A and B are shown apart, each in its own frame.
Chain A
Amino acid sequence: MAKQILIIGGGVAGTIVANGLCRQVKSELASGAVTITMLSDSDKHMYQPGLLYIPFGKIRESELYRDQRKLLDKKIAFFVDAAKNIDVDARKVTTASGKTYGYDYLVIATGSRIRPDTIPGMTEGAHWFYDLDGARKLRDALNDFQGGKVVINVNAPHKCPVAPVEVTLMLRDFLIAKGVMDQSEITYTYPIGRLHGLEPVANWAVPEFQKLGVKSEVFFNTKMVDPKAKTITSEEGVTLPYDLLITIPPHSGSQVITDSKLGAGGWVPTNKLTLLREGSDNVFIVGDTTNIPISKAGSTAHFEADTVVDNLASLLKEQRWSRNYDGKVYCFIETGMTTGTYIMFNYTTPPNPGPPSAMVHWLKLSYNRLYWLSARGLL
Chain B
Amino acid sequence: MSEKTIVDARGAFCPGPLMELIAALKNVQIGDEVDIWSTDKGSVTDIPEWCKKVKHDCVGIVEQNGYWSVLVRKAK
Contacts and interface: CB of A to CB of B under 8 A. Distances in A.
A293 B5 CA distance: 14
Interface residues of B, number: 25
Contacts of B23: 156-157, 265
A329 B13 CA distance: 11
A135 to B, nearest CB: 22
A295 B11 CA distance: 12
A193 B43 CA distance: 11
Nearest to A202: B16
Interface in B4-19: 5, 7-9, 11-19
A221 B26 CA distance: 12
A293 B17 contact: yes
B15 A156 contact: yes
B30 to A, nearest CB: 14
Contacts of A321: none
Contacts, number: 76
Contacts of B54: 221, 235-236
A174 interface: no
Specify which of A235, A250, A348 lies most central, judged by the most chain B CB atoms within 10 Å of its CB.
A235
Contact of B18 (A192, A267, A345): A192
A367 interface: no
Contacts of A348: 11
Nearest to B17: A293
30 contacts: A118-B26, A156-B19, A156-B22, A157-B15, A157-B22, A157-B23, A161-B14, A191-B19, A191-B22, A192-B18, A192-B19, A192-B46, A198-B16, A199-B13, A199-B16, A199-B42, A219-B53, A235-B53, A236-B53, A236-B54, A265-B23, A293-B7, A293-B9, A293-B12, A293-B15, A293-B20, A295-B15, A329-B14, A350-B13, A351-B13
